[in-house]
Amino acid sequence: MKVGIMSFAHMHAYSYADCLKQVDGVELIGISDENEERGSQAAKQYSTTFYRTDAELLAQDLDAVIICSENVKHKDMVIQAARAKKHVLCEKPIATSVEDATEMIRVCEEEGVILQTAFPVRFSEPMQQLKKAVEKALIGEIVAIRSTNRGQNPGGWFIEKDRSGGGAVLDHTVHMVDIMRWLLNEEISEVTAEVDRFFQDHDIDDAGLLTLVFENGVIASHDASWSRSKNNPTWGDVTIELIGTKGTLRADAFKEHIKIFSSTGKAYQHTLYAKDMDLGLIEDFIQTVREKRTPSITGFDGLKAMEVALAAYASGEKKQPIKLG
């Protein structure tokens, strides 16, 4: 299978490229990027061809593309790829508006191409085990959920709203909302949120506290922020706790790590030893394209997760709960 990567603006592009190299029968045949220096360096790093425009890459003989651009560019790039009959794995959030996401899904359906949303947390081994426990009803009926996703401020275009579409709440809510929907098979009907800026001097949110109500009555809280200092391990705070009628379950997506304390560089670091969740995502996408099946994480999944984050902004601005249809 021949795969291309459209833009290396998002840091996950490097991880996905590493993962493609590990999958049998897959060739990374090219990289496109409007930033010529970044794109050409990435192409050199991964021993592939650099294309100055997306159109040049899409004109090649390839089966699928992975889109890792700035968030606001996802819509145009997904539609361009779909019109070129290429299957698509799109970095999260899928878009920055419900209207854009809806159009992306529609065009991909019209063109008969796969649109998968990049939610690698589903492929974390602790989350996989949690899913199995829920399916076995080990804690009875779930009545409440608590989750967190607190990381470092990534800087760059992430803190420019006209390119990202939002700050920490958008960046760090979609992953865990997707996990909640995946576990419960239920939709969220109401969102109440406090959104603010506490940790950096940028004109964009870096923290939010959300309360979610699901259609079946389950209540959830989600703590999303860019609150970790630069000296903290980059990952390690993506957690979820399920409260049931017969007990509780808790999972940490990055729990499987070795703690390293050093006198040079960062004093405290994590080294993960679990299977790479990004690799799980890439393997799943490749298999989906090979089998021409419905993706495990659809464009609609991406839309619903993004919708909750956008509702959180509306709730924070209006100081009232936001109902979702």
Of the three residues 63, 96, 118, the one that is the final residue of a domain is: 118
Q: Which residues pair with 260 in a beta bridge?
A: 269
Q: Are residues 113 and 190 in the same domain?
A: no
φ/ψ region of 236 (left if φ > 0, alpha if ψ in -120 to 50, else beta) reads left
Q: Are residues 145 and 269 in the same domain?
A: yes
pLDDT tens readout for residues 204-245: 999 999 999 999 999 999 999 999 888 877 666 899 999 999
Consecutive H or E run containing 22: none
- What is the reported pTM? 0.94
CA atoms of 212 and 30, how far apart (whole Å): 41
Rounded to a whole number of angstroms, the CA Rg of the chain reads: 19
Structural domain count, the chain = 2
Coil, strand, or helix at residue 290?
helix
Of the three residues 60, 95, 118, the one that is the final residue of a domain is: 118
CA atoms of 233 and 271, how far apart (whole Å): 9
Helices (H), 112-215: 125-135, 161-164, 168-184
pLDDT of 236 reads 66
The residue range of the domain holding 251 is 121-276+299-323
Tell me the average pLDDT of the chain: 95
CATH number for 91: 3.40.50.720
Of the three residues 118, 148, 169, the one that is the final residue of a domain is: 118
Q: Are residues 105 and 162 in the same domain?
A: no
Q: Are residues 7 and 100 in the same domain?
A: yes
Coil, strand, or helix at residue 229?
coil
pLDDT tens readout for residues 121-149: 999 999 999 999 999 999 999 999 999 99
| C-alpha 269 chain-centroid distance | 23
Q: Which residues pair with 194 in a beta bridge?
A: 209
Q: What is the pLDDT averaged over residues 197-203?
A: 90
pLDDT of 232 reads 78
pLDDT tens readout for residues 252-303: 998 877 778 788 777 777 777 778 999 999 999 999 999 999 999 999 999 9
